[in-house]
Amino acid sequence: MSEAKAPKPALVDIGKEAVPAFAVAPDAASLFATRAKRFRTLADGNPLAAYLAFLAGLAEAQHEIQADLPPAALPDEEDIAQALDHGMPPLPAAGLALDDVAVRTVERLLERMAGLELPAPAATARDALLAADADRRRAVVADALTTAAPSSPEAIAERVLVLAGLAVHFARLASRLDMSRLKRIADGVCPACGSAPVTSSIVGWPRAHNTRFCTCSLCATMWNVVRVKCVLCSATDGISYRTIDGAPDTVKAECCDSCKRYVKVLYQVKDPALDAVADDVATLGLDMLLAGDGWQRGGANPFLQGY
């Protein structure tokens, strides 16, 4: 594994300096279809090929179920304004009352996957959730956002499927928010729903070239964070970057000596096809090396439960 210390900030021509928006909404209509394509590309020749192929099918299902879902309803404007005034996320994942649309979204995903060949734990979890009564399904959906990650393989598989459905629901909600109203809440916290980031990305967008955005692990909102700074604790000293020897330099782990955690950085400015969730899963080998060196994973990924 290679290590590189963070470079000193370069001088910037103020006349050409990027002026990125603070927050960017997800495009729920295309997000999961694009992710499914990326999962399939990454599966080719990857040691995790079978799992990546399964996640490609899951992402395709996330995309397809949106065609006949009822509209996702935002909280009342008064509640949104109050949350923003008090420095809170307007779509609080742990505190938002999950309505019938949220539960129906999870149910539709499970139904869509009923005809798919899945890994044994996922198939068992799918069948158990489909066979459960409405009250149990609603409880499982609520628990996915309010309780600690499970430890048993059966419970983990169930959590993965439920979070996949909730990712669709929250992306649809976030896509309707006025991003210009969002404000920074705290280190490593999505300004839309309060969830943790999955990864950060150096983007190549117009007026935001070479700037960094974190991507929310739940609603997929992206928010701007200064580069060469720990996105989890804001430390600027003791930042280093780790990569696997011989691997492309488009995915690195940004490690912080202050909190001993890391979040991966995706260099979309070099490869726009990189996906915050898919490329995180596909580079699990980097996580395993870092864990062996005592580093704690700081990015949250619903498809990497337990890592």
Please tell me the predicted confidence (pLDDT) of residue 183.
Answer: 94
Q: Are residues 80 and 196 in the same domain?
A: no
Please tell me the predicted confidence (pLDDT) of residue 9.
Answer: 45
Could you tell me where the beta strands, DSSP code E, fall in the chain? 2-5, 23-24, 197-202, 212-216, 222-224, 239-243, 251-256, 261-266, 296-297
Q: Are residues 33 and 125 in the same domain?
A: yes
Q: Are residues 219 and 152 in the same domain?
A: no
Per the CB < 8 A criterion, the answer to whether 301 and 283 are in contact is no
Q: Are residues 40 and 169 in the same domain?
A: yes
Q: What is the CATH number of the domain that holds 217?
A: 3.90.1670.10
Please tell me the predicted confidence (pLDDT) of residue 11.
Answer: 38
Number of domain units in the chain: 2
Q: Are residues 16 and 87 in the same domain?
A: no
Per the CB < 8 A criterion, the answer to whether 42 and 52 are in contact is yes
Q: Are residues 71 and 169 in the same domain?
A: yes
Tokens of 67: 């065609």
Q: Which residues of the chain have pLDDT under 50?
A: 8-16
Assigned domain for 247 exists? yes
Give 70's DSSP letter.
P
How far apart CA 255 and CA 3 sit, in angstroms, is 10
Q: Are residues 226 and 161 in the same domain?
A: no
- Tens-place pLDDT, residues 63-81: 999 999 999 999 999 999 9
Please name the residue that has the structure tokens 């974190």. Answer: 214
Please tell me the predicted confidence (pLDDT) of residue 116.
Answer: 79
Please tell me the predicted confidence (pLDDT) of residue 12.
Answer: 40
- CB under 8 A, 24+ apart: contacts of 124-130: 124/154, 124/157, 125/154, 125/157, 125/158, 125/160, 125/161, 126/161, 128/154, 128/158, 129/158, 129/161, 129/162
Tokens of 267: 């260099």
Among 122, 156, 179, the domain boundary falls at 179
Q: Are residues 51 and 156 in the same domain?
A: yes
Q: Are residues 186 and 293 in the same domain?
A: yes
Q: Are residues 138 and 196 in the same domain?
A: no
Query: Which residue segment(s) compose the domain that 127 sits in?
Result: 27-179
